[in-house]
Amino acid sequence: MNAELITVGTELLLGQIVDTNAAWIARRLAEAGINLYYKTTVGDNRRRIAEVIRHALGRADVVLTTGGLGPTVDDVTREAIADVTGRPLVRRPELVEHLTTLFRRMGREPGENNLRQADVPEGARVLWNPIGTAPGFIVAHEGKWIIAMPGVPREMKRMVDEQVVPFLRELVDRPVTIRTKVLRTIGVGESVVDQHLADLMRLSNPTVGLAAHMGQVDVRITARAPGPREAEVMIAQVEREVRRRIGTWIYGEGNETIEEVVVRLLRRRGETMALVETNTGGEVARRLREAEGDDSVVVHAEVAAPPEGTPDEARAVTWASRLLGRGGSMWALVVWGTAGADEGVYGRRLGATVIVVAREGSAPLTHRFELGGRDEHSRRWVANRALDALRRALAPAG
């Protein structure tokens, strides 16, 4: 079964509020085994809402809408659905009674604009709203379904969980479970990951997709199966192959950040670290401390002036050796890179950065990258590389 979601509200188009409803509903539909192929946002305009619904009905079995069911003149979703289905709006006595009871509890009588919320397309199935005044409804149309829900998140969520999802499960011939696992990579570009996983990304079930972030790439594996166990087995099979091909770049799963992984590895070893940064301007220390919580693994951090000219690896190693033991630290990290105004990923010159990871009693690990700069993108890229270098040094014994 395929679904399409329409969120209604001019305030969404103007960016005055963030559309959190769409993401939440998408997750619930996936959990119920319903395919969601399109999401659309439309303003509070009766003609345009009707146009979007007609278009959605042409490619989906179920069309869900949120918003536009309130009492004001610009709440016109119910009218638009009536236009699409050719069903007149009918004032339902049971909804009038519900609204009247709610308002009397507040010491008021509902006005005519409030009673508009008791109007639903003829023959519609009412979706009760026990925590608000705007009911939802379900309308059958030419073998398909339109489900209208209020836009207030808490009202919509309760309606979805208690009424909409059970209704959709009844429509599905065979229950389907959709499960997703995300593997997080760092230190590699999207095009390189694509080259390694191209054939896997052509699979139909499970599917493999990529999502690129600044300096990182997520690998998403999604499986559809009759039940959770079967879906997890399917994901595990593909995951093993993904890890075989690009495992050295994978640092975590789900929503894990690279800094959280590094902090966890340090805590597991019961060790602390000191660091000094130049072109990253303290970003590595900031991210580690934000991931630390109450227990500090960063016992010393400083920001130093960038080198004049090309950073010297020997000097960076000496710097790292002097950092060891500062504040009782067992590890030292030096991020020493150029920070010219015209350097960076999109600068006229790349610049350069040397990263040194050192531990007492072990040979220091040195990494050199032909990228410096102090713009946000370059700082993020270099900081990620520094955190990944630290992760790789910690992981063998972690």
Q: pLDDT tens digits for 80-98? A: 999 999 999 999 999 999 8
User: How far is Cα 116 from Cα 294, in angstroms, rounded to an integer?
Assistant: 53
Q: Which two tokens stand for residue 343?
A: 């350097």
Q: Which amino acid is at 350?
A: L
User: 211, 234, 253: which is the final residue of a domain?
Assistant: 253
Q: Residue 38: pLDDT band by 50, 70, 90 thresholds? A: very high
Angle at 35 between CA 34 and CA 37, to 5 degrees: 145
Question: Does the pTM of the predicted model rise above 0.75?
Answer: no
Provide the pLDDT for residue 398: 39
Q: Is 132 helix (H, G, I), strand (E, B) or coil?
A: coil
Q: Clarify whether residues 159 and 192 are in a common domain.
A: no
Provide the domain limits for residue 342. 258-397
Q: Clarify whether residues 107 and 206 are in a common domain.
A: no
Provide the pLDDT for residue 332: 96
Taking only Cα atoms into account, the Rg of the chain, rounded to an integer number of angstroms, comes to 28
63 to each of 28, 89, 179, how far by Cα in Å?
15, 19, 22
Provide the pLDDT for residue 215: 78
Task: Tell me which residue has tokens 């069903």.
Answer: 87
User: 154, 171, 188: which is the final residue of a domain?
Assistant: 171
Task: Tell me which residue has tokens 């559309």.
Answer: 19
CB-side exposure of 298: number of CA atoms within 13 Å? 23
Provide the pLDDT for residue 185: 96
CATH number at residue 327: 3.90.950.20
Q: Clarify whether residues 242 and 388 are in a common domain.
A: no
Q: Clarify whether residues 193 and 104 are in a common domain.
A: no
Q: Clarify whether residues 71 and 206 are in a common domain.
A: no
User: How far is Cα 369 from Cα 353, in angstroms, rounded to an integer?
Assistant: 5
Q: Clarify whether residues 73 and 150 are in a common domain.
A: yes
Are 65 and 149 in contact by the 8 Å Cβ rule? The answer is: yes
Work out the average pLDDT over 164-175: 83
Q: Clarify whether residues 105 and 18 are in a common domain.
A: yes
Residue 175 vs residue 393, higher pLDDT: 393
Q: Is the pLDDT of residue 268 over 60?
A: yes
Strand-strand pairing, 125-127 and 119-121: unpaired
Domain count for the chain? 3
Q: Is 36 helix (H, G, I), strand (E, B) or coil?
A: strand
Provide the pLDDT for residue 173: 66
77 to each of 84, 99, 139, 209, 291, how far by Cα in Å?
11, 19, 13, 35, 44
Q: Clarify whether residues 272 and 147 are in a common domain.
A: no
Q: Is the pLDDT of residue 175 over 90?
A: no
Q: Which two tokens stand for residue 237?
A: 């099979």
Q: Which residues does residue 359 pair with via DSSP β-bridges, in sequence order?
A: 331
Q: Which amino acid is at 129?
A: N
Work out the average pLDDT over 109-124: 92
Provide the pLDDT for residue 174: 66
Q: Which residues does residue 146 pair with via DSSP β-bridges, in sequence order?
A: 63, 139
Arithmetic mean of pLDDT over the chain: 92
**Residue 150: closest CA among 160, 142, 141, 140:** 160
Q: How many CB atoms lie within 10 A of CB 373?
A: 28
**Residue 64: closest CA among 37, 90, 87:** 37
Q: Clarify whether residues 273 and 391 are in a common domain.
A: yes
CATH number at residue 109: 3.40.980.10
Are 226 and 177 in contact by the 8 Å Cβ rule? The answer is: yes
Q: Residue 251: pLDDT band by 50, 70, 90 thresholds? A: very high
Q: Is the pLDDT of residue 51 over 60?
A: yes
Q: Is the pLDDT of residue 290 over 70?
A: yes
Q: Is the pLDDT of residue 150 over 90?
A: yes
User: 141, 171, 201: which is the final residue of a domain?
Assistant: 171
Q: Clarify whether residues 160 and 182 are in a common domain.
A: no
Mention every residue, 6+ apart, whose C-beta is less than 8 A from residue 357. Answer: 320, 331, 332, 333, 364, 365, 367, 389, 390, 393
User: Buried (b) or exposed (e) across 333-355, using 16+ Cβ within 10 A?
Assistant: bbbbbbbeeebbbebeebbbbbb
Q: Clarify whether residues 26 and 67 are in a common domain.
A: yes
**Residue 139: closest CA among 70, 96, 82:** 82
CATH number at residue 212: 3.30.70.2860
Q: Clarify whether residues 218 and 272 are in a common domain.
A: no
